[in-house]
Structure 1
Amino acid sequence: MSQWRVTAEHPLRETEGLDHERCAALHNLIVERGWIASGRSLSDLDRRSWWECYGGDAELSPYAAKLSPSVIAFLKTAWHGYAITAQPQHAFFRYLSGLCSPDDLWKNAHYGDDEDDSNKARYVTLYMANWALGASHPLGLVFDQQTSTAMQHMSIQDTNITMNGRQIWLPLELILEAFLDMIDQGKALAVDSSYDGEQERIGPWIMPSYTVCDLDQTLEAFGRLTHAVESRMPATRSNETHRLGDAIRSSELLPNSFAGQFLARARDTRFSHIAPGLRIARQQPFSSVNVEGGKMRPILIFESSQEAYQDTERAPWGEEVHISHFPQPFQSITNFPAGIYLTETVPHGAHPFEDGCKLILPHTIGGNGWARTSDGALFGENTQAKGPRASQVPRSTQLYQQGFNHFIQTHDVQLKHVLRHWADMVEKGKWAVDVDGVGGGIEKWREADTEDHWQDYQLPMSW
């Protein structure tokens, strides 16, 4: 199967329409790996294709008239029988329950009021969203037959963003490859009936709040960054050491949490400033907030000497309304340092991500119209507005964020990606180093909204 995985050695292929051969192979591999991990025997796997399950050419001719040849070829190869006969039921993946039935292929997709019936064949809902994740009006993975690209939607409301005319859709094989990457790294796990852990099980998938791979890669990225800085510091540098764990008492963190493990195992540094205007944190502004239901507080990792900017937006009645950077109950803290925070999460909830982070600046950026999130949206733009980009509002929290995530829901950017990027900026000489570590000051971040440097501050889309 290695030849079907999307890698540097096996990149995307030039095909007419959907790369049905590759996508069917990846689809079937996801089914097989989930099936085995859930404790079932391959001899019991119903490998009938979607096309066969729904009656073949004779029964499906009315639907085939609206499907491209490459989509038909995919449905004639992709396994679907298991989804009909398996007891207990077996979901295709954590986010997608399975391929849609023929009658649902063109239901739910969001079309404009000005589009006629002839164009309504264009968007095919190939996979159903997993309704157990609680989205209102679940939709699924929609395939655009005109461009041969796809986009995952947990809710039909997502189409207000994905169909705004500016969002970039992806080849289906890239989305399926991302699912397999999550399985490879333990981010999405199929478990058998003996599983008695606390993670929510959606037959048979669970999603750990972080993985060993997440932690190891974050520690590796931090080590790479600190080495890059220390190797460039002047000879007159201080011999004082700094520890990430000094900012928080061990009693405030669960020892097996991502934050607890990362802060305990991160190497000491011989400098204080880890990025422009950001030093290793010395405080935890949300430590006094009482939390319930297993929710974890935001954890300040790297802080600015300045306070976080308080974003606002104009309400329909004209008043400027404060936008909180964190949900309840953390909104009770209104003044806190700018910096990098591991964001709040419920480790055993439906969307548990302990390694997600947010950079909050002491000022906004985006007013120049260059700064972009990973999905290409301008900071503060109305992503639900169709057509050319509307005016945007500068924001203090969107730097490095994903925007509309193509692969996974409600996940702030992983800390490892930010640290890798910072190491890259130091190694390439785009950030200067002085006796205190990374120089440039907090104003350096304004480069993210300039014509010459915005691409240096935009991370690629990731799950």
Structure 2
Amino acid sequence: MSTTLNAAAAVFDPQLCASLHNDICRRGWATLAPDLPFEEGTTTWWDTYGSECDASVASRLAPQLMEFLKQARIVRPALRDEAQGNFFFYLSGLAAPDSLFSYAGVIDPDEPDANRYVVLYHATQLMGHPVGLVMDQHTLKGQVMQSLTIDDTIVEQSRRPWVPLQDILAAYLNMIDMGKITSEENPGEKVDYTALDASERAGIIAGTWRPKVWPYERPWLLKPHSQAILDRSVAALDNLLEAIEKRMPLPRAELASEIPLRTPVAEGVMGMASVAEKLISTNQASEHSFIVKFLRQVDGLLASVRPDLRFVAPGLRVPDHHVAAQPFEGLDDERWNPPILLFHGELRDGTTALTTFPGGIWNHPFAPPYKERTTPFPSGLWIAEHKVDNPNYDNACRLLLPDEVVLAPGRTQHYAKSTDGFLLEQPGAQCEGLAAGLYQTSCNIFVGRHEVLLFHVLEHWVRQVEDGTWAVDRHGVAGGMEKWAEADESEAMAEKYRLPYTW
């Protein structure tokens, strides 16, 4: 093995990884067989494959990986044929010894070390020609490759980031904790494990007894959003409004006690609840969609902010009925819900900020039929479009920056980066650029590529206000949309505009 393994050991914690793995496995098992104790229905990978591994591949595995496999639990062989279940939504489970190195020559055909890449987990059948979670034994870092042939990123494989295994497993646990992915019981016939006698339960452990019926195929479900995600998004907006209001200067002639926070706006202003109903009536969103629920819940928040609070981020207006639910006339497609403009962008002079895409369809942010639009889009934060029948991430969003930022004259060097650290290409390049790429991932090695989630952006805005990166004046966050250009002015400022890299 490479001598770089010792130097890389700090990025791989076998005990922590096994603990995270077993936690995910235990949660799936609670749905799989709630009446059978986890320890009886599972065993360690090494207890199952240790002899085979010693005879074939143990000498090719890093010691840290072997230590992990000695602690990570899997379904007992006696139950596996009936289980047909997945470790997690994206991963079917730990690979057997004979398939650990099955993709070694495919992942990087030019790599001379045949032991470098290990397929530690197989991927589920979400895409054709699935691969799985691949570990690089030179660095002890990993990434999830859903498919060999279906690519959902704009970055070639050799440039995609590798992260510690514990980060991937922790992200998956976070998805479960947030209710984004849930394990749900199959309503079909179940084995009553409480009715098994001691010899039958002992037979499961010994591998000599198999149940006739197994209710479990694939317990993990991906939800468009969850109540926890909705609550976190609402709380983030509430925190943002409060952070801004605390920093807004008071009118010269009035004392602080005379201007309480959350002063109601003038009567007759159309509220966000009414905007939500408009989205439903015009078939731009369903009653069960994130945006409708979000607007209904923030109706009271937005109705009670100080009347002079206009901007929640540089040049981005507090949502109102004039710009929310902006239709895409002539581009209706019953298969998709259209993008929804949530925070409308303005320049310093008060004019509407516009975003064009001179690179054509390659760096256009939206899917067909919205990709066909030739006129500029209003700049601002959009709730991204999604499929009506299968919305995987209906709380995802995308920031469109105006031409005044993207096409700033005289700029010869660029610094703005995607969340995963790739320099955002400039207009004309055949990939996502600064106009639509800020906060996004060029590739996502956790779950597959999708737009950034709204609560991550709102929480980032709170930090920008609280740490003073964004100044606050008498109308809220100052600077107009032109201020977003600072994300491209230096390495330090580019880092200020990157989000944590996660699912």
Give the counterpart of 1:180 among 169, 173, 178: 173
- Contact persistence 2:154–2:431 (CA under 8 A): no
- Corresponding position: 1:265 with 2:297: yes
Determine if the alignment matches structure 1 residue 345 to structure 2 residue 383. Answer: no
The answer as to 2:356 corresponding to 1:310 is: yes
TM-score, normalised with respect to structure 1: 0.82
2:314 corresponding residue in structure 1: 276
Corresponding residue of 2:341: 300
Cα distance in 1 for partners of 2:141, 2:61 equals 14
How many residues align? The count is: 423
State how far apart, in whole Å, the 1-side matches of 2:155 and 2:341 are: 31
1:204 aligned onto 2:219: yes
Q: Does 1:103 align with 2:95?
A: no
1:141 aligns to what SS in structure 2? Answer: strand
Aligned partner letter, 1:183: I
Using a 3 Å threshold, how does the CA distance of structure 1 residues 321 and 416 change in structure 2: closer, same or farther?
closer
Cα distance change, pair 83–419 in 1 and its aligned pair in 2 (3 A): farther
Please tell me whether Structure 1 or Structure 2 has the larger radius of gyration of its CA atoms.
Answer: 2
Partners in 1 of 2:434 and 2:465 — Cα distance? Answer: 25
Distance 2:29 2:143 in 1: 25
Instruction: Assess, with a 3 A threshold, how the Cα gap between structure 1 residues 441 and 221 changes in structure 2: closer, same or farther.
Output: same
Asked if residue 48 in structure 1 is aligned to residue 43 in structure 2, the reply is yes
Residue by residue over 1:56-83, the C-alpha shift from the partner in whole angstroms, topping out at 9 and shown as x without a partner, is: 3356422112111221222222222347
Q: Could you tell me which residue of structure 2 aligns to residue 4 of structure 1? A: none
- The change in CA–CA distance for 1:38 and 1:187 in structure 2 (over 3 A counts) is farther
Alignment check: 8 A CA contact 1:108 1:156 kept: no
Q: CA 1:374–1:191 in structure 2 vs 1: closer, same or farther (change >3 Å)?
A: same
Report the equivalent of 1:114: 110
Q: Match of 1:430?
A: 469
CA RMSD of aligned residues (A): 3.0
Mean alpha-carbon deviation: is it higher for 155-164 or for 279-288? Answer: 155-164
The alpha carbon displacement at 1:354 in A equals 1.1
Residue 49 of structure 1, CA deviation:
2.5
Helix, strand or coil for the counterpart of 1:380?
A: coil
Q: Does 1:139 align with 2:118?
A: no
Secondary structure of residue in 1 paired with 2:434:
coil
Deviations 1:310-365 (A, max 9, x none): 2244xxxxxx666432111223443331111111123652x611110000111227
Q: Distance in 2 between matches of 1:21 and 1:347?
A: 42
**Structure 1 residues 258, 73: closer, same or farther in 2, change over 3 A?**
same
Q: Distance in 2 between matches of 1:344 and 1:169?
A: 29
**Which blocks of at least 5 consecutive residues in structure 2 are unaligned?**
1-7, 189-215, 253-258, 347-351
- Give the superposition deviation at 1:457: 0.7
Once the two structures are TM-superposed, the CA of residue 39 in structure 1 deviates from its matched residue by 4.9
Other structure's SS at 1:396 match: helix
Say if 1:83 and 1:438 are closer, same or farther in 2 by CA, change over 3 A.
farther
- Answer yes or no: is the 8 Å Cα contact 2:441–2:449 preserved in 1: no
Q: Secondary structure at the match of 2:24?
A: helix
1:60 to 1:161, Cα distance in 2 relative to 1, 3 A: farther
In the TM superposition, 1:156-235 aligns within 5 A as: 156=148, 161=155, 163-165=157-159, 167-194=160-187, 203-235=218-250
Shift of 1:424: 1.5
- The answer to whether 1:361 aligns with 2:401 is yes
Q: 1:210 to 1:59 in 2, by over 3 A?
A: closer
Deviation at 1:298, TM superposition (A): 1.2
Distance in 2, Cα, partners of 1:439 & 1:161 = 35
Q: Give, in angstroms, the shift of residue 303 of structure 1.
A: 1.0
1:125 pairs with 2:119: yes
Aligned to 1:255: 287
Secondary structure of the residue aligned to 2:380 is strand
Stretch moving more, 23-32 or 332-341: 332-341
Cα distance in 2 between the residues matched to 1:15 and 1:296? 46
| Secondary structure, counterpart of 1:23 in structure 2 | helix
Cα separation, partners in 2 of 1:179 and 1:394, compared to 1, 3 Å: closer
Question: In the alignment, residue 460 of structure 1 is paired with which amino acid?
Answer: P
- Give the AA of the match of 1:302: F
- Matched with 1:413 is 452
Identify unmatched segments of 5+ residues in structure 1: 1-13, 196-200, 314-319, 382-389
Contact 2:362 2:432 in 1 (8 A): no
Conservation of the 8 A alpha-carbon contact between 2:443 and 2:449: no
Paired residue for 1:10?
A: none
Quickly say closer, same or farther: Cα 1:394–1:174, change in 2 above 3 A: closer
Distance 2:154 2:120 in 1: 19
Cα distance per residue 1:74-112 (max 9 Å; x no partner): 222222234772424110000001112222212224444
Query: Which amino acid in structure 2 is aligned with residue 51 of structure 1?
Result: W
Is the 8 Å Cα contact of residues 44 and 74 (structure 2) preserved in structure 1?
yes
Contact 1:347 1:353 (C-alpha < 8 Å) held by counterparts: no
* Contact 2:155–2:442, Cα closer than 8 Å, also in 1: no
1:329 maps onto 2:369 in alignment: yes
| 1:256 shift after superposition | 3.0
Q: Flag the structure with higher helix content.
A: 2
